Structure 1
C-alpha cells in the first residue's frame, strides 16, 4: 500500500498550515497518511531524536515523504539512515546548513549525500526566494547541487507560518504520484 508521512516544521504540529489538507488529499487517493507530532523536532539533537522517528514509521518503495522547514531538514537524516529506496521525498522550505543565527539541532554535522540520493527515487526541493527564516532558494540549490532531483523556486515566503496562513498547497498535491 502507498503511504505518506508528512513532517511538520520546527514548533509546528499536524494541525497547522497545509498539513491536514494535504493529508486529506492523499488519503482520498488511497494513501495511508501519517502526520506525526514531534514536539522535540529541532529541539532535541538529531542523533538522539532520529532513532525515535525511524522506529515510529515503516518505510518502503511506495512511501512518500514530505517535510516542511525543520521537518524537511529531518528528511535528510531519515533518507540517509533508512535501508530502502522510497518513491518520493519532497522538501518544502528545506535546508542543509544553518539558515539563520538560531541553533539547528535537526542538522547533522555532515551528510552522506550518496546514501541520501540512493534512498529516494524522486527528490523535490520547493523553496522561496524570500523566506523569513533563510530557508530560501539558495538552501534548495545547495541540496539540489548535491542530490539532483527537481528544484522549484517560488516567491511564497515560508509556505505557511504563524503569520502566513497557507491552508492549501495544490502544487504538492500535483507533485505526488
Structure 2
C-alpha cells in the first residue's frame, strides 16, 4: 500500500500550514498517511525524532513510502533516512526548505544530533527532491542547493516563495498545489 509520512517543522503542529490539506489530498488518492505531532518540536532533535518515528511498528518504511518534511522536518527526514536499517529504501523524499546548520537559532542547536552522514543518506530513497523558495528569509537558498548537490538530489526553486508557511507567505500556504503536482508527476514517471 502507498504510504506517506509528513513531518512538520519547529514550533509547528499537524494542523499548521499545508499539512492537513496535503494529508487529505493524498488520502483521497489512496495513501495511508502518518502526520505525527513530533515530540519536543520547540527544540527539534534528530535522535529524539528517530526514536519516536522508528518506534511506530504500524508504519512501514519501504519503496512504497513517500517522506515529506518541511523546514526542520526536512532535516528530520534526512536524519530518519540515515537511521533506517541497511537495505531499507523508501520511495521519494521531498525536502521543503531544508538547511544544514542551526541558522544561529537557539531552538535549533540540538537538531543536528547526530550529525548528518551524507554517505548513509544518499541511497536510502529513490530520489531526494529539494523544494525551496528563492525569497526564504530563514534558510539560505545557496545552502540548500549545495545540500542537494552533495546528496545528488533534485533541486526545485519556486520564484517569489518564502518559507512555504502561513507566517511568511500568508494564507495561500494552507495549500501547496506545487508540491502535490510534483508528487503526482514523480509518481507517474515511476509507472512509465
Relative to the length of structure 2, the TM-score reads: 0.84
Q: In the alignment, is residue 48 of structure 1 matched against residue 53 of structure 2?
A: no
Alignment deviations for residues 121-156 of structure 1 (CA, whole Å, 9 cap, x no partner): 0111011222222x2312321211211121011231
> Which of 162, 171, 174 matches 1:167?
174
> Which structure dedicates a bigger proportion of its chain to helix?
2
Paired position in structure 2 for 1:61: 63
Task: State the alpha-carbon separation in 2 of the partners of residues 112 and 137 from structure 1.
Answer: 21
Unaligned runs of 5+ in 1: none
Q: Displacement, 1:50?
A: 2.0
Matched residues, number: 176
Deviates more, 1:155-164 or 1:30-39: 155-164
Q: Name the structure with the higher strand share.
A: 1
Quick one: which of 156, 168, 176 aligns to 1:152?
156
Over the aligned positions, Cα root-mean-square deviation in angstroms equals 1.7
Cα displacement string for residues 74-130 of structure 1 (whole angstroms, at most 9, x for unaligned residues): 011101011211011001011122234434222235322121111010111011222
Aligned partners of 2:132, 2:143: CA distance in 1, in Å?
8
1:24 aligns to what? 24
SS of 1:87's equivalent in the other structure is coil
Change (3 A) 1:37 1:103: closer
Cα separation, 2, equivalents of 1:111 and 1:33: 26
Larger radius of gyration: 2
With normalisation by structure 1, the TM-score equals 0.91
Q: Which position in structure 1 is the counterpart of 2:115?
A: 110
| Deviation at residue 17 of structure 1 after TM alignment | 0.9
Q: Give the Cα separation in 1 of the matches to 2:22 and 2:157.
A: 20
